[in-house]
Amino acid sequence: MILIHCPYCDEDRPEIEFAYGGEAHIARPLDPSTMSDAEWERYLFIRNNPRGRHHERWRHSHGCGRFFNAVRDTVTDKFETTYKAGEPRK
Amino acid sequence: MTRFSAISLIAKALNGHKDWPEQWPDAAPKPAYDAIIIGGGGHGLGAAYYLAKKYGITKVAVLEKGWIGGGNTGRNTTIIRSNYLYDESAHLYDHAVKLWDGLSQELNYNTMYSKRGVMMLAHNVHDIQSFKRHIHANRLNGVDNEWLTPEEAKAYCPPLNISPDARYPVLGAALQRRGGTARHDTVAWGYARAAAALGVDIIQNCAVTGINRGPDGAVTGVETTRGAIACKRIGVSAAGNTSVLMQMAGLDFPLESYPLQALVSEPVKPIFPCVVMSNTVHAYMSQSDKGELVIGAGTDQYVSYSQRGALHIVEHTLAAICEIFPIFRRMRMLRTWGGIVDVTPDRSPILGKTPVQGLYVNCGWGTGGFKATPGAGDLLAYTMAKDEPHSINAPFNLDRFRNGRLIDEAAAAAVAH
């Protein structure tokens, strides 16, 4: 089981305390009524799915309950860093 | 190619099985082909076979970055069924089940397809209603599926615990009798051997590193770790690595790759006669002809290419198995492994053309691609040969994520399937 560092609790905790929240930094559309079908497709369905560095959201559901962002290598599953929601992309 | 038969087996047995020739040659890449299939799993090898067999396109290469059948073809739980809710899915998966019938004879290779029945357990009122709806929908589509009472389910699968005191009591089951299992490796080997006999080059240890396109945007070939190869038609059948390959052609895909784990127990005498699945408790199991219990469940939660997963997922799966089948509580597990499955937002595959001329895709089978192997191969071959999708795979196009015409089996099954 992997250990994940929660940037709010400032502790390494086992994966079962966390819920994966999908790709990070996907901005909600500011003006949905003006979006084209292609833009909706990109927002709703298209994902980076990289082999390597992946920016993703996690939630410390059985801890502080807060969402944060992480950078993880999808080949080794090693976490490079975790940072608080709202901080710029690392 | 030596044809396998009782006579050839006996003749070689007398000689101590010493002079069997190789089943297909280990080909080196040529400078150009009419068509290239990226991915040497069952789906890709099947596509190459049907391209050569049905459409006479024999200058075909299958490029595999590792060894054939070493990806998800060798990492699944070999379950075959077609009891899907929506018309499009029922037609797609039943096309495959029809091809499984008779595949061993067609390939002259024993795929060990065993119609032992796939039984899906209902544990609550919602399950009963949902399964009965599935049964009626299936029967309208000509797919066999029938409702069993708990007693009938127990009679079909004696190790089942139907006690009303169980944590998740069995209230009934849906049974597809044509469902079952097959031997995964032989599917890859059988297709490889039959395709090679028709002139297809099976090239292993050859990873694709780039997809070349001409000034008009159409594909002109691929760059590989064993040199450049020219071709006008490329079929990508690379499961978890599809997103990476599509990026090489400049396409962003609606896919995410997750590890899916499975495990087998120590081999025991035949005790488990069919495949049993429980969506609510979330585990499924069958017994291989070797005697191992083959067990699986859901994916790990995060995107990964690591081909392994976390132990707590396995613990969760085994807890479910022990609950439904208390007699297996003291079984020892022998091996676990993970495969990388490519999951689409609606949990239905993408099989058809792409916006790039000459580039075709077969992906998004998620956690249930093995059952579709012959059908996916056949339909990818059709699409590549005719440059248009067959009516069966036409609904499974890439455009559905733009026009909203999803085939939402995720909602229909309530779990990945």
Residue of B nearest to A36 (CA): B402
B102 pLDDT above the threshold of 70:
yes
Q: Which residue type occupies A18?
A: F
Q: What is the pLDDT of residues B279-321, one digit of tens each?
A: 888 899 999 999 999 999 889 999 999 999 999 999 999 998 9
- List the domain boundaries for chain B: 3-75+185-254+346-407, 118-177+256-342
Q: What angle do CA B394, B395, B400 make, to 5 degrees?
A: 120
B352 pLDDT above the threshold of 90:
yes
For an interface test with A, the pick among B336, B340, B348, B402 (most A C-beta atoms closer than 10 Å) comes out as B402
Give the residue-averaged pLDDT of B174-185. Answer: 96
All residues of chain A having their beta carbon less than 8 Å from the beta carbon of residue B243 are: 47-51
Residue of A nearest to B345 (CA): A45
Under 8 Å between Cβ of A59 and A65? yes
Q: In this predicted structure, what is the pLDDT of residue B112?
A: 96
CA-to-CA dists, residue B179 to B27, B133, B400, angstroms: 36, 18, 29
Q: In this predicted structure, what is the pLDDT of residue B410?
A: 78
Q: What is the pLDDT of residues B371-394, one digit of tens each?
A: 999 999 999 999 999 999 999 999
Q: What is the pLDDT of residues B110-158, one digit of tens each?
A: 999 999 999 999 999 999 999 999 999 999 999 999 999 999 999 999 9
Residue of A nearest to B406 (CA): A45
Q: What is the pLDDT of residues A63-82, one digit of tens each?
A: 999 999 999 999 999 999 99
Going by CATH, does the domain composed of B3-75+185-254+346-407 fall within 3.50.50.60? yes
B64 pLDDT above the threshold of 90:
yes
Specify the pTM: 0.96
Q: Cα Rg for chain B, rounded, in angstroms?
A: 21
Q: How is domain B118-177+256-342 classified at the architecture level of CATH?
A: 2-Layer Sandwich (3.30)
Residue of A20, A45, A46 lying closest to B301 (CB–CB): A20
Residue spans of chain A under pLDDT 50:
none
Q: Which residue in A3, A2, A4, A1 sits closest to A68, CA to CA?
A: A4
Across chain B, mean pLDDT equals: 95
CA-to-CA dists, residue B10 to B6, B14, B23, B193, B194, angstroms: 6, 6, 18, 21, 22
Interface of A with B (CB under 8 A): 1-2, 15-16, 19-20, 23, 37-38, 40-42, 44-51, 54, 56, 72, 74-77
Spatial separation of the C-alpha atoms in residues B266 and B270, rounded to whole Å: 12
For an interface test with A, the pick among B253, B255, B303 (most A C-beta atoms closer than 10 Å) comes out as B303
Q: What angle do CA B307, B377, B112 make, to 5 degrees?
A: 75
Q: Which residue in B278, B352, B337 sits closest to B306, CA to CA?
A: B337
Residue of B253, B305, B345 lying closest to A74 (CB–CB): B305
Under 8 Å between Cβ of B88 and B100? no
**What ipTM did this prediction achieve?**
0.96
**B254–A2: do the CB atoms touch at under 8 Å?**
no
- Please determine whether the domains at B3-75+185-254+346-407 and B118-177+256-342 fall in the same fold group of CATH: no
Spatial separation of the C-alpha atoms in residues B46 and B374, rounded to whole Å: 6
